[in-house]
Amino acid sequence: MDVRVGTVEEVRRDGCRIVEVDGRAVGVISVGEDFYAITDRCPHMGASMCAGSLGGTMLASRPHEYVYGLADRVIRCPWHGWEFDLETGRSLLEPRRRALRTWRVTQQDGDVVLHT
């Protein structure tokens, strides 16, 4: 089932729009030209991920070397700061154990469409 989220302009303006899919909240997030869809509940304690912040993170690097990456692809839980990759849904701290479910999102005829 495909879910129309809104027009491209509306979703970009909002930054994050929450829709219901099979009884669960899904956040559709606009980042530049791209759209991502994730479960809107943090697996830690259930906070709304769309209420969190979006940014990047420090990447693994050599000693005394600081490398910033994943710009605008990391979403942080507003309650405890857990970080997740928007593209994969994987936790940056425990990528094998924690994740947000992700969905494919496309643009069709000026609308943002979530594919379930």
Predicted local distance difference test score (pLDDT) of residue 9: 97
Q: What is the mean pLDDT of residues 63-75?
A: 95
pLDDT band at 14 (very low <50, low <70, confident <90, very high): very high
Q: What is the mean pLDDT of residues 15-29?
A: 96
Domain assignment of residue 84, given as a range: 2-115
Judged by DSSP in three states, 93 sits in coil
DSSP summary character for residue 60: P
Q: What is the mean pLDDT of residues 3-14?
A: 97
Nearest to 90 by CA among 25, 36, 23: 36
CATH number at residue 91: 2.102.10.10
Nearest to 31 by CA among 14, 51, 6: 14
State how many domains the chain has. Answer: 1
Predicted local distance difference test score (pLDDT) of residue 1: 86
**How many beta carbons lie within 10 A of that of residue 57, not counting itself?**
15
The dihedral through the CA atoms of 41, 46, 51, 53 has a sign that is negative
Q: For the whole prediction, is pTM greater than 0.75?
A: yes
